[in-house]
Chains A and B, each alone.
Chain A
Amino acid sequence: MDQNISTLILNLAYLIGSITFIIGLKMLSHPETARKGNMIAAVGMTIAILGTIFLKVGGDNVAIKYVIIFAGLIIGTVVGFIAAKKVQMTAMPEMVSLFNGMGGACAMLISLIEFHIDDKPAIGKLVIIVLGMIIGTVSFAGSIIAWGKLNGKIKDKTIPGGQIINFILFGGIIILSTVVIGGFAPDLTIYLFYGILSLAAIYGILFVMPIGGADMPVVISLLNSFTGVAAAFGGFLYDNPVMLTGGILVGSAGTILTILMCKAMNRSLKNVLIGSFGGAKAGVAGVAKEQGNFKEISLNDTAVLMAYAQRVMIIPGYGLAVAQAQHTCHELEKILEERGVEVVYGIHPVAGRMPGHMNVLLAEADVPYEKLLEMEDANDQMGSTNVVLILGANDVVNPAAKEDPASPIYGMPILEVEKAEHVIVNKRSMKPGYAGIENELFFRPKTSMLFGDAKKVLQNLIAELKQV
């Protein structure tokens, strides 16, 4: 094909890619258009990728290159498709984190190869290669740790002096990068380059390691924007507009999203990164208080209480997700409705492991949309609710957020369950929630505890209800 024409088509493909990313992101931020937006961005991405393969790849041994590229594309597509289709709804957050890590690793590898092909590039190119590698590596290492934490493979660890170590690592990365970029030690460049790579990997690991599980969505969102920036460096490297716009869009949108998520939890980003929710300091504030006794309630009493209520509000949390009890929960709701009890769900925006987690989970069980009340509506209706059933939620109903200025979650908006007549809390044990903070709600006079795995308890509750 004529060189000019193929360049024209390639540039058009990139332009289409950039435009679909913008439209896609815009549509993704409205519930009605979100799904279509995702599709549009996917189509744009496909066009940009195909354009690159057929109009950009050339040179010697083009056949071999095509074989390798298509082999990679096919493997990635099949594995990615199956993984994404098979993943449980509860495991989606860690899946996103894992995919994010893959993107980071891809950016890292691009820098590695570029450096391998030419280890004495012009200074501008070198800066881009080094920065792209650092950010890609941090994102990769951090995402893998976040993934491991979310699926329970890696436990929260506060490393003594962790912040100082991180600071030193960060300084080390800057110094080594300066030496490499400035060309101060030309003989050592290649070793220094891999030194930077190692430091960045360690930094990524230590950066995520101490952050409490409850804050993981925020961290994933932040790492997501990191990968965006790493992709944008690729755009600089190849003078490629679609990588640049796509990467920067995600970088900036991701940063804003991170801040929005922090706001939903009423925490500052700095707090999330340094304060470590589950850390030792946070625990003390709540525990120091006098705590009374809690009372348990039997399944039978719970069933009776709910059967004769006018309105029951179910407040789901991570416990529901872990127990995979969403379908059983929907069954309970149907049985109660048959008896003329109004059932609604009170959804806290950050209940579960990710914002919107509960909506997705309950939607999977076909719970009607109108039954899911957002926090404000739920709080408005709380006063006329007879029974609140809390299923594995903890921090989002912790009164300390309103009452105890010393509490690490003080100021976070919560579901004010105590306005209801009865509060029944289903938990597996008295252990504190994911944030590691004691919850005084469990000791309040209105509250009764119903211990056990959410799914089993709900199944038994349904059986009891059928007999009432």
Chain B
Amino acid sequence: MDFILHLFTEPASYRLITIVILSIFLGIEVISRVPAVLHTPLMSGANAIHGVVIIGAIIVMGEATDIFSQVLGFLAVVLGTLNVVGGFVVTDRMLEMFDKKKKK
């Protein structure tokens, strides 16, 4: 119960909750009415965006002092980067196809 109380009274956490709730609505609003043709590229683009988790990996790397944390942190940075770079590039390749056929 303390935890819940803390969540909604502490200014910092309350601010975060507000961001979360507004972001939920924004996410729904932004992509409703997307044509079926774009489902796959959109999913792939969203996939790249959640690669933002890489930022967490970098931050935790900054805190890491022992070998265990550094090895895992390194791994986390690699995986997060894969998610971001691979995600955006794959999405771009899918959408490039659409571009090409438009020009004809």
Beta-carbon contact of A234 and B55 below 8 Å: yes
Beta-carbon contact of A250 and B50 below 8 Å: yes
| Contact-size category for A | 35 or more
Beta-carbon contact of A69 and B38 below 8 Å: no
Contact of B53 among A22, A31, A81, A231 (CB under 8 A): A231
Beta-carbon contact of B23 and A84 below 8 Å: no
Contact of A360 among B35, B40, B59, B74 (CB under 8 A): B40
B 16-30 binary contact with A (CB < 8 Å = 1; else 0): 100110011111101
Q: Which residues on A sit within 8 Å (CB–CB) of B61?
A: 57, 65, 68-69, 72
Beta-carbon contact of B3 and A102 below 8 Å: no
B 84-104 binary contact with A (CB < 8 Å = 1; else 0): 111111111111111111101
Contact of A240 among B56, B76, B79 (CB under 8 A): B56
Task: Report how far A123 CA is from B70 CA in the complex, Å.
Answer: 25
Beta-carbon contact of B50 and A356 below 8 Å: no
Beta-carbon contact of B27 and A253 below 8 Å: yes
Beta-carbon contact of B37 and A79 below 8 Å: no
Closest partner residue, chain B, to A251 (CB atom): B27
Q: Which of A220-244 contact B (CB under 8 A)?
A: 220-221, 224-225, 227-228, 230-232, 234-244
Closest partner residue, chain A, to B20 (CB atom): A248
Closest partner residue, chain A, to B34 (CB atom): A29
Closest partner residue, chain A, to B17 (CB atom): A236
Shortest distance between the CB of A33 and any CB in chain B (Å): 10
Shortest distance between the CB of A280 and any CB in chain B (Å): 29
Task: Report how far A60 CA is from B63 CA in the complex, Å.
Answer: 9
Shortest distance between the CB of B46 and any CB in chain A (Å): 5
Beta-carbon contact of B38 and A29 below 8 Å: yes
Beta-carbon contact of A113 and B72 below 8 Å: yes
Main SS class of interface, A = helix
Task: Report how far A167 CA is from B78 CA in the complex, Å.
Answer: 33
A52-B55, A256-B27 in contact; A29/B33 too (CB < 8 A)?
A: yes
Q: Which stretch, A89-97, A312-320, A425-433, touches the partner chain B?
A: A89-97
A25-B30, A123-B3 in contact; A96/B58 too (CB < 8 A)?
A: no
Task: Report how far A409 CA is from B6 CA in the complex, Å.
Answer: 48
Q: CB of A292 within 8 A of chain B?
A: no
A76-B79, A359-B98, A368-B104 in contact; A243/B56 too (CB < 8 A)?
A: yes
Task: Report how far A413 CA is from B84 CA in the complex, Å.
Answer: 35
Our count of residue pairs bridging A and B at CB distance below 8 angstroms stands at 388
Beta-carbon contact of B50 and A103 below 8 Å: yes
Beta-carbon contact of A250 and B98 below 8 Å: no
Contact of A45 among B37, B63, B84, B100 (CB under 8 A): B84
Shortest distance between the CB of B19 and any CB in chain A (Å): 6
A107-B56, A224-B43, A366-B104 in contact; A257/B34 too (CB < 8 A)?
A: yes
Closest partner residue, chain B, to A99 (CB atom): B86
Contact of A224 among B25, B37, B47 (CB under 8 A): B47
Closest partner residue, chain A, to B10 (CB atom): A124
Q: Which stretch, A34-42, A183-191, A281-289, A454-462, touches the partner chain B?
A: A34-42
Beta-carbon contact of B52 and A247 below 8 Å: yes
Beta-carbon contact of A109 and B57 below 8 Å: yes
Q: Which residues on A sit within 8 Å (CB–CB) of B90?
A: 84, 87, 92, 95-96, 99
Q: Which residues on B sit within 8 Å (CB–CB) of A77?
A: 81, 85
Beta-carbon contact of B20 and A232 below 8 Å: yes
Q: Which residues on A sit within 8 Å (CB–CB) of B31?
A: 25-26, 28-29, 253, 256-257
Beta-carbon contact of A59 and B86 below 8 Å: no
Contact of B38 among A28, A93, A217, A364 (CB under 8 A): A28
Task: Report how far A105 CA is from B100 CA in the complex, Å.
Answer: 35
Beta-carbon contact of A56 and B58 below 8 Å: yes
Task: Report how far A240 CA is from B62 CA in the complex, Å.
Answer: 15
Contact of A124 among B3, B40, B41, B53 (CB under 8 A): B3
Closest partner residue, chain B, to A42 (CB atom): B88
A38-B45, A250-B50, A367-B101 in contact; A349/B36 too (CB < 8 A)?
A: yes
A 111-124 binary contact with B (CB < 8 Å = 1; else 0): 01110110000011
Beta-carbon contact of A39 and B92 below 8 Å: yes
Q: Which residues on B sit within 8 Å (CB–CB) of A232?
A: 20
Binding site for A on B (CB under 8 A): 2-3, 6-7, 12-13, 16, 19-20, 23-28, 30-65, 68-70, 72-102, 104
Binding site for B on A (CB under 8 A): 17, 21-22, 24-26, 28-31, 34-35, 37-39, 41-42, 45, 48-49, 52-53, 56-61, 65, 68-69, 71-73, 75-77, 79-81, 83-85, 87, 89, 92-93, 95-96, 98-100, 102-103, 105-107, 109-110, 112-114, 116-117, 123-124, 127, 217, 220-221, 224-225, 227-228, 230-232, 234-257, 260-261, 264, 349-350, 354-357, 359-360, 363-364, 366-369, 374
Task: Please name 10 pairs of A and B residues whose Cβ atoms are closer than 8 Å in the assembled complex, sorted by A.
Answer: A25-B27, A65-B62, A69-B77, A72-B61, A96-B43, A113-B76, A117-B69, A234-B53, A239-B12, A252-B26
